[in-house]
Structure 1
Amino acid sequence: MSQISIAHSPDADDIFMYYAIKFGWVELKNTTFDNIALDIETLNQEALKGTYDISAISFGLYPFIKDDYALLRTAVSFGNGYGPKLVKLKDKKLKPNFKVALSGHYTTNALLFKIAYPNAKITYMNFLDIEKAVLDGVVDAGVLIHESILEYSHLLEVEKEIWDIWVELAGEGIPLPLGGMAIRRSIPLLKAIEYEDTLIKAVKVAHNQKHLMSKMLLERDLVRVDYDTLQTYLNLYANEESIELSELQLKAINLLYKIGFEKGFYKDIIVAQDYMLPKEYKSLRYDN
């Protein structure tokens, strides 16, 4: 029996996309998937250390782990007209060197924020603490992610949508790459392909059984929002487009890496397709 560790964030879209496996709706023979939920900064840092077999990551991190992890095609989250929000107290004027809270050094939103606000003084904290830090004046502003973008204090206002920064850099009609998953390259290729196929199936099953999955997650207190808010959030970040990467999504990821290279954040340009599991290997192997 193989034991495979899967790390994901505790936010609603990751929980939703993984729990078809946890509930036993999707299985892989002779394989046990052990999951752990961690905030996105911790996930990215652990991926840099190669801690987990499969891990949710920020797309912005991937060029730094490409030699140790392959990029998976499933459980992806993109913004399309929406995304993380830079918020501040209402009527507060931000200086060029304002102090800001971000959810992690390697997140996509951090990359885009740094491009737009090169003089800001950045502090990193758990995404659950950012709103309070802004309200308490610990920081001048903060970038809200996950469910926080839907419900935040009436004392706050949006200074800038990260989506707008993305459009300014990438142009219209390109979705914003936020989060995906990666798998350790040391796993035998045929096994890795089986694991990816299982995860694709899990995301598809969750999407097709959205009402039941949502009900079970809420009954078990596995998500932090009510039913209606959960549906709104899932429509944004765990939808049909999350099941398997499309050509447009791949174009968006590659554009992110091109922009990151041009702005000096990556040492070279990578093409996502070159770092994914070669699914054709399975059929070629058995044909021979």
Structure 2
Amino acid sequence: MVTIRIGALADSGDLYPFIPLIEGKIKPEGFNLEFEIIPTVQEVNEAVLKKDVDVSVPSVAMYPFIQDDYFILSNAVATATDGITGMPILGVKEMNEDEIKKSRLIVHGQNTTAFTLYRLLMGKYGKLVIIRRVLDEIKALGKEGDVLVAVHEIKMMFALKKLGIKVVRLGSMWDMWKSISNNTPMPMGMVVISKDLGKELAFKFKEVYEKSKKYAEKHLDEIIPKDVEIMRESQKADLDEEIVRKTIWADIEEYNVPVDQVRKGLEFFYKITEEKGILPRVKSIDLI
């Protein structure tokens, strides 16, 4: 029997659809699942690039580099349609655009969508600071870096408040994106599955993933304690259950955008990043 290797990203919003599968609440038929929890999105990006996993949750910006090896699950593309999770730029003091472009910029990694959007929408920065873990980013703001692109605003703001760090919201990727895209949905992350498994098995996995996602959304009180447990262990931090719940609620919206809008966002993202010389050309968006 085929075993599908899943690299689940240890981020509450991306993790919740997998938890019913991890816990055995939803069981696949005809194939086995093997899970590995991957702590950061940059490590996920590296894992899919090396084909170390069959299924994972890389950045949308990673797809041009893995397009020959992975399908995209059409029911699993995290897509922003408003400013709630629209990647704000945060700093510890008021700064104008010129000052931001000379700042030390904190991001998760060079292959992330957050950094790609910054390059597309802001362009310049003084020094790039790579800090892979979300909560480590917070501690570095004002010390190692002047500004950061917050991938999860709710989680970030809650953690900053808890640490007593005051920040200024300097701008938002979403606000800039919607102005150049005519309000096109903004893609951020995606679940991909290896083409080596074949399209038939990929579709079977997609169906099981959808069942797991829907189960999680209907049974959040069951799912959240496990989500918190995994997050605390992988992030080496004492995460608050309240913020995990709020993060998941925000991401449920992202993971349930209609597929025609998902495709529209992906097409615009890859078209404009290729035109600007930021990402390689995407030959075909292989949504299944």
The two structures share one fold, judged by TM-score above 0.5: yes
The alpha-carbon distance between structure 1 residues 222 and 248, as it changes in their structure 2 partners (threshold 3 A), is same
What residue identity is the alignment partner of 1:16?
Y
Counterpart contact for 1:75–1:244, Cα < 8 Å: no
Deviations along 1:53-101, one digit per CA (max 9) or x if unpaired, are 1111111111111011111123332222222221111235625322111
What residue identity is the alignment partner of 1:179?
G
What residue identity is the alignment partner of 1:258?
K
> Structure 2 stretches of 5 or more lacking a match?
233-237
CA–CA distance in structure 1, aligned partners of residues 261 and 270 of structure 2 = 14
Equivalent in the alignment of 1:284: none
Equivalent in the alignment of 1:286: none
> Residue 143 of structure 1 is aligned with which of 141, 149, 154?
149
Q: TM-score, normalised by structure 2?
A: 0.85
CA–CA distance in structure 2, aligned partners of residues 127 and 86 of structure 1 = 17
Equivalent in the alignment of 1:213: 223
Equivalent in the alignment of 1:283: none
What residue identity is the alignment partner of 1:72?
L
SS class of match (1:24): coil
Equivalent in the alignment of 2:27: 27
What residue identity is the alignment partner of 2:247?
Y
Mean CA deviation greater in 142-151 or 154-163: 142-151
SS class of match (1:57): coil
SS class of match (2:141): helix
What residue identity is the alignment partner of 2:150?
L
Equivalent in the alignment of 1:280: none
What residue identity is the alignment partner of 1:122?
L
Q: CA deviation at 1:205?
A: 1.4
Q: CA deviation at 1:110?
A: 1.1
Q: CA deviation at 1:216?
A: 4.7
Equivalent in the alignment of 1:122: 128
The sequence identity of aligned pairs, in percent, is: 20
Q: Does 1:255 align with 2:268?
A: yes
Q: CA deviation at 1:148?
A: 3.4
The alpha-carbon distance between structure 1 residues 122 and 196, as it changes in their structure 2 partners (threshold 3 A), is same
Q: CA deviation at 1:123?
A: 2.4
> Structure 1 stretches of 5 or more lacking a match?
278-288
Equivalent in the alignment of 1:234: 248
Counterpart contact for 2:72–2:191, Cα < 8 Å: yes
CA–CA distance in structure 2, aligned partners of residues 134 and 230 of structure 1 = 22
Q: Does 1:155 align with 2:169?
A: no
CA–CA distance in structure 2, aligned partners of residues 139 and 244 of structure 1 = 34
Mean CA deviation greater in 75-84 or 190-199: 75-84
SS class of match (1:118): coil
CA–CA distance in structure 2, aligned partners of residues 76 and 215 of structure 1 = 24
Equivalent in the alignment of 2:235: none
State how 1:1-288 maps to structure 2 within 5 Å.
Answer: 1-38=1-38, 39-82=40-83, 83-91=86-94, 94=99, 96-120=101-125, 121-128=127-134, 129-135=136-142, 137-146=143-152, 148-151=155-158, 152-153=160-161, 154-172=165-183, 174-218=184-228, 220=229, 222=231, 225-239=239-253, 242-243=255-256, 246-272=259-285, 275-277=286-288
Mean CA deviation greater in 120-129 or 11-20: 120-129
Q: CA deviation at 1:30?
A: 4.2
Q: CA RMSD in A?
A: 2.2
How many matched pairs? 271
